[in-house]
């Protein structure tokens, strides 16, 4: 199940934007990731470093980080490996209410 909402972007969009801002000098193309709402804490989402063509060390040097838009930090970035993992399980109803589709 993909999380979708048209009014308020989810942290996934914020993650893509933050990563693009953190990695200067690269071609600006947004990265999109789908995360099932049932994904447990610690579930692997993607390797951001690999997707951006960087090493974990480069992420660390550039001080890449995730900045949540809301109160909750749904994802965690390991700067040493570039792995993006679920930090907190997402609840579709909490994020989108009755809106369909929920992005």
Please, are residues 39 and 89 in contact by the beta-carbon 8 Å criterion?
Answer: yes
For the ranges 29-33, 34-38, 82-86, 95-99, the maximum mean pLDDT occurs at 82-86
Task: Note whether residue 76 is domain-resident.
Answer: yes
**Is the preceding peptide bond at 101 cis, omega within 30 degrees of 0?**
yes
Q: Tell whether the model's pLDDT for residue 1 goes beyond 80.
A: no
Read off the pTM.
Answer: 0.64
Q: What is the CATH number of the domain that holds 51?
A: 2.60.40.60
Any idea what the Cα angle at residue 24 is, between residues 21 and 30, rounded to 5°?
Answer: 50
Task: Note whether residue 77 is domain-resident.
Answer: yes
Q: Tell whether the model's pLDDT for residue 9 goes beyond 60.
A: no
Residue 62 Cα distances to 17, 29, 83, 98, 103, angstroms: 15, 18, 15, 39, 29
The residue that leads in pLDDT, 94 or 28, is 94
Task: Note whether residue 87 is domain-resident.
Answer: yes
């Amino acid at each position: 199940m993909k999380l979708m909402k048209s009014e308020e972007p989810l942290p996934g969009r914020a993650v893509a934007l933050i990563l693009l801002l953190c990695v200067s000098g690269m071609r600006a193309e947004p990265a999109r990731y789908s995360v099932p709402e049932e994904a447990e804490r610690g579930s692997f989402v993607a390797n951001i470093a690999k997707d951006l063509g960087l090493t974990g060390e480069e992420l660390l040097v550039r001080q890449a980080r995730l900045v949540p838009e809301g109160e909750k930090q749904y994802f965690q970035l390991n700067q040493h490996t570039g792995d993006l993992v679920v930090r907190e399980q997402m609840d579709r109803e909490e994020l989108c209410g009755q809106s369909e589709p929920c992005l």
